[in-house]
């Protein structure tokens, strides 16, 4: 698997985790605050970006442009999808 696929896989798993965490933070299980849920997801996204750069190197990830298409876009769509699915299960 090439580097783009590996970065996308890491961010997809992170998006699933962030979506579930956002659901917990916004549904009132601990407390109800959607802003904290979004901030937590952005922190996870940043941490995954740093992890990807350390694992594969900045040159392999292709900087912000490579991270945008291989990391941020899959993370965002999976995160929103998982959050909405869990919110609709309530």
* Per-residue pLDDT tens over the stretch 42-74: 999 999 988 988 888 888 877 777 778 888 999
pLDDT score, position 80? 96
List Cβ neighbours of 53 (8 Å cut-off, separation of 6 or more): 61, 67
pTM across the whole model:
0.89
| Cα–Cα distance for residue pair 78/32, rounded to 1 Å | 22
Q: Is the pLDDT of residue 76 over 80?
A: yes
Mean of the per-residue pLDDT values of the chain: 89
**37 SS3 class:** helix
Q: Is the pLDDT of residue 90 over 90?
A: no
Q: Is the pLDDT of residue 78 over 90?
A: yes
């Amino acid at each position: 698997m090439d580097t783009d696929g590996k970065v996308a896989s890491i961010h997809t798993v992170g998006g699933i985790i962030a979506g579930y965490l956002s659901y917990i933070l916004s549904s009132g299980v601990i407390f109800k605050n959607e802003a904290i849920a979004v901030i937590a997801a952005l922190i996870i996204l940043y941490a995954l970006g740093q992890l990807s750069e350390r694992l594969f190197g900045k040159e392999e990830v292709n900087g912000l442009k490579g991270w945008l298409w291989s990391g941020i876009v899959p993370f965002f769509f999976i995160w929103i999808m998982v959050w909405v699915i869990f919110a609709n299960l309530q």
